Amino acid sequence: MCGIFGFWDLRAETPQGTLARITKAMSDSLAHRGPDGDGVWTDPSAGIALGHRRLAIIDLSETGRQPMASASGRYHLTYNGEIYNFRELRAELEAQGAVFRGTSDSEVLLAAVDQWGLQATIDRLVGMFAFALWDSWDRRLALVRDRLGIKPLYFGRVGSSIVFASELRAFAAHPAWDPAVDRQALSGLMRVGYVPAPLSIFRGIGQLRPGHVAMVGADGLIDQRCYWDVRRVALDAAGSGLPAPDTEEVEALLSDAVACRMVADRPVGAFLSGGIDSSAVVALMQRASPQPVRTFTIGFADIDYDESAHARRVAHHLGTDHAELTVDEATALAVVPRLPDLFDEPFADASQIPTFLVAEMARREVVVTLSGDGGDEVFAGYNRHRMAARLGWALRRLPRAVRRAVASALAWPSPDRWDNMAALLPAGTRPRQAGDKLHKLARLLSVDDRAGLYPSLAVQWPLADAPVVGVADDPAMLFAEDESGLSDDAARMQLRDMLTYLPGDILTKVDRATMAVGLEARVPLLDHRVVELAWRLPLADRLGEGTTKLTLRRILHRHVPRELVERPKSGFAVPIHDWLRGPLRDWAEDLLSEQALAGDGVFNVPPIRRLWAEHLSGQANRQYALWPVLMYQAWHRRWMGGVAGSTPRSAAG
């Protein structure tokens, strides 16, 4: 796990010293991604410069150092990620005559491209990766991103150069960098809490989509092609006619996916929340390990958000070497002013705060951690999947007037009022965030066609308002992927999560939070072989028996008693809504003042101010609409030359 970066001066006019100096500055900006070393390779005759920040995991010696040249000398590589089947590929290559200097997966990747070509190599890879490959014979640069989008890769044109990097901050080192905010990307951020691919927050810079290769020629033209598409996987599985996998087959493949991700030359652990996904990963890890697995969780002093007891019970049952940290409000709030640095592109999923804190904790003891991320997308675990499965019939059969009447009744009490009513229920039966869930149900019942199902639940900003000035704002366009071949509403929603929310939100959060502290996160539930197998499961084996993720639950219950893990889904939440009315109020008011919002002319100020007033009054919980605005404003002050923002009083200590 590392950071990659570089550029190609298409005019080949940059002197050797300047190439090295710019690349070194890019390297320094990404030092957090690779604290164990850096490397730069340049070819002034071609104008190419490749750079690498190293977090050493496999082959800690100098033979694992990058950028790395192939044995033939044709290819140069800078690579971020892990190839989990590299030993099998190496054995195959050695049988064909390849000779290796070290034991790294990077060297195997280069030898494979030398022997089989780029496309045939990518097709064989099991892993997470983003890499740049320079072909010195054909003068071409290939940029490649893994199938699910676990590792990030940004690229674009800056002056006469094609630039690329793991994070946007590296581009500021290029002398031709002249950043401008992309308003379409900003509108996407407001709607869903992240910048949707292929956009980035900067105009002219994009994200390479998951499962894609971008080939750059000497003329500067960029040809992007898809080599693996989860949409195609889902459609093929639906019409394959193959027998559905049974629980044993799924568990066997999951066990392999977990075991190969435990291979490292540095200490390995796991995040454990006590939920279905992380508990399943840890259970399979512990079964494969001759010694106790190190597990990590954080708890919160606020008992309404503390799930550490669940993780503790699972850890005790499995016999892991468990560590937990209880976080008070001041500790969590202290992360808020750091968010623009941790996420150098504005990002607004508030679970970024606890994710960073647990990563920071784990890094004190391990360098690699496994997580359960992706389980909800792969095995259908979100409440919206179950909601679509249960209510799809209503959208097709109930008259529009009836649905809208029910929706109006549900939306009439504010979310806070619903929460207050839910608080009257016995402690063990209170649903968390009942008001938000009922308002989502109201939006779902209000849609007029199936295409509106997903946006009605995924869009955070009120659909009636356009938050960004000068943008043809159509929230549904954020999810305009064609899944018309899937007949089931829940499956369509699950696919859209895998295409958008998974790489845009979940994987972005995990990558930035862990890389900020030099920790490698591995996600076995997103092994592409597991994804392909899971799509062959009948919907009844994903959403069946009144629950979600049925097959994954069946596997987990073989290792952990049902009563230790079965409870209402809650997520990795923090009380942002209360903080914005309390310790974060002055900080937020500074960023949401009319003067601050009108500063660069991008925001439609009146609706933002209205939502802020509604939130402060307690009339409604507007945290999901306001947090993206706050994250953008804080980011803009940090990265676009604005005045430094105020610091939350609790964070200032």
Give dist(CA 55, CA 343) in Å, integer: 19
318 φ/ψ angles, rounded to the nearest 5 degrees = -80, -15
Look-up of token digits 């390995």 = 268
Mean pLDDT of the region 361-382: 97
Give dist(CA 521, CA 1) in Å, integer: 8
Name the nearest CA neighbour of 364 among 338, 325, 316, 327: 325
What's the CA angle centered on 573, arms 526 and 367, to 5 degrees? 50
Which fold does the domain 2-228 belong to in CATH? Glutamine Phosphoribosylpyrophosphate, subunit 1, domain 1 (3.60.20)
DSSP bridge pairs for 320? none
Strand order across the 212-216 sheet: 68-69, 75-83, 127-135, 140-145, 212-216, 222-226
Give the pLDDT score at 600: 85
Residue 178: enclosing H or E segment and its boundaries? Answer: none
- Among 201-205, 230-234, 403-407, 641-645, the minimum mean pLDDT is found in 641-645
Give the pLDDT score at 468: 93
Q: Is the pLDDT of residue 482 over 60?
A: no
Give the pLDDT score at 476: 60
Q: Is the pLDDT of residue 615 over 70?
A: yes
- Among 495-499, 538-542, 649-653, the minimum mean pLDDT is found in 649-653
Residue 221, classed as helix, strand or coil, is coil
CB-based contacts of 208: which residues, under 8 Å, 6+ apart?
130, 143, 144, 145, 153, 154, 155, 197, 198, 214, 224
Parallel/antiparallel/unpaired status of strands 154-158 and 205-207: antiparallel
Residue 437, classed as helix, strand or coil, is helix
CA–CA distance from 192 to each of 184, 344, 438, 447, 461 (Å)? Answer: 12, 17, 19, 18, 7
Give the pLDDT score at 644: 34
Mean pLDDT of the region 372-397: 85
Percent of the chain topping pLDDT 70: 94
Give the pLDDT score at 399: 79
Q: Is the pLDDT of residue 643 over 80?
A: no
CA–CA distance from 34 to each of 29, 276, 516 (Å)? Answer: 10, 31, 10
With bands split at pLDDT 50, 70 and 90, how would you rate the model's confidence at 393?
A: low
With bands split at pLDDT 50, 70 and 90, how would you rate the model's confidence at 647?
A: very low
CB-based contacts of 420: which residues, under 8 Å, 6+ apart?
none
On the 0-12 / 13-18 / 19+ scale of CB atoms within 10 A, 424 is exposed
- What is the distance of C-alpha 217 from the center of its chain? 30
**Contact assessment for residue 85 and residue 107, using Cβ atoms and an 8 Å cutoff:** no
Give the pLDDT score at 570: 63
Residue 101, classed as helix, strand or coil, is coil
CA–CA distance from 509 to each of 129, 144, 451, 485, 545 (Å)? Answer: 16, 20, 27, 31, 32
Q: How does pLDDT run across 290-309, given as a tens digit for each residue?
A: 999 999 999 888 777 778 99
pTM over 0.85: yes
Look up residue 425 and give its two tokens.
């229920």
Q: How does pLDDT run across 6-50, given as a tens digit for each residue?
A: 999 999 999 999 999 999 999 999 999 999 999 999 999 999 999
CB-based contacts of 161: which residues, under 8 Å, 6+ apart?
7, 8, 9, 10, 47, 174, 176
Mean pLDDT of the region 236-256: 91
Helix pair 623-639, 585-592: axis angle to 10 deg: 70
With bands split at pLDDT 50, 70 and 90, how would you rate the model's confidence at 459?
A: confident
Give the pLDDT score at 306: 79
Give dist(CA 115, CA 93) in Å, integer: 8
Look up residue 31 and give its two tokens.
């030092």
CA–CA distance from 374 to each of 2, 342, 464, 497 (Å)? Answer: 21, 22, 31, 10
Mean pLDDT of the region 575-580: 92
With bands split at pLDDT 50, 70 and 90, how would you rate the model's confidence at 342?
A: very high
Please list, residue by residue across 314-345, b when 16 or more beta carbons sit within 10 angstroms of its beta carbon and e when fewer do: bbebbebebbbbebebebbbbbbbebbebbbb
Look up residue 387 and give its two tokens.
């909601």
Please list, residue by residue across 368-390, b when 16 or more beta carbons sit within 10 angstroms of its beta carbon and e when fewer do: bbbbbbbbbbbbbbbbbbbbbbe
Give dist(CA 87, CA 548) in Å, integer: 36
Give dist(CA 607, CA 601) in Å, integer: 14
CB-based contacts of 409: which residues, under 8 Å, 6+ apart?
none
Give the pLDDT score at 182: 96
**CATH class (in words) of the domain with range 233-379+500-565:** alpha beta
DSSP bridge pairs for 585? none
Task: Spell out where 67-197 has E strands.
Answer: 68-69, 75-83, 127-135, 140-145, 154-158, 161-165
With bands split at pLDDT 50, 70 and 90, how would you rate the model's confidence at 645?
A: very low
Q: How does pLDDT run across 522-549, given as a tens digit for each residue?
A: 999 999 999 999 999 999 999 988 899 9
Give the pLDDT score at 650: 37
Give the pLDDT score at 317: 97
Q: What is the dihedral of CA 578, 582, 584, 585, to 10 degrees?
A: 110
Mean pLDDT of the region 369-383: 96
Q: How does pLDDT run across 86-95, given as a tens digit for each residue?
A: 999 999 999 9
- Among 254-258, 388-392, 609-613, 624-628, the minimum mean pLDDT is found in 388-392
Q: How does pLDDT run across 428-446, given as a tens digit for each residue?
A: 666 767 777 787 777 777 7
Give dist(CA 164, CA 8) in Å, integer: 9
Give dist(CA 334, CA 253) in Å, integer: 41
Mean pLDDT of the region 548-569: 93
In the residue annotation, 226 being an active-site residue is answered as no
Give the pLDDT score at 386: 87
Look-up of token digits 């990097």 = 165
Q: Which of 2, 208, 334, 353 is catalytic?
A: 2
Look up residue 40 and give its two tokens.
């730069």
Q: What is the mean pLDDT of the chain?
A: 91
- What is the distance of C-alpha 75 from the center of its chain? 30
Look up residue 393 and give its two tokens.
């019939």
Q: Is the pLDDT of residue 403 over 80?
A: no
With bands split at pLDDT 50, 70 and 90, how would you rate the model's confidence at 646?
A: very low
Domain definitions of the chain by residue range? 2-228, 233-379+500-565, 383-495, 576-652
Mean pLDDT of the region 210-224: 96
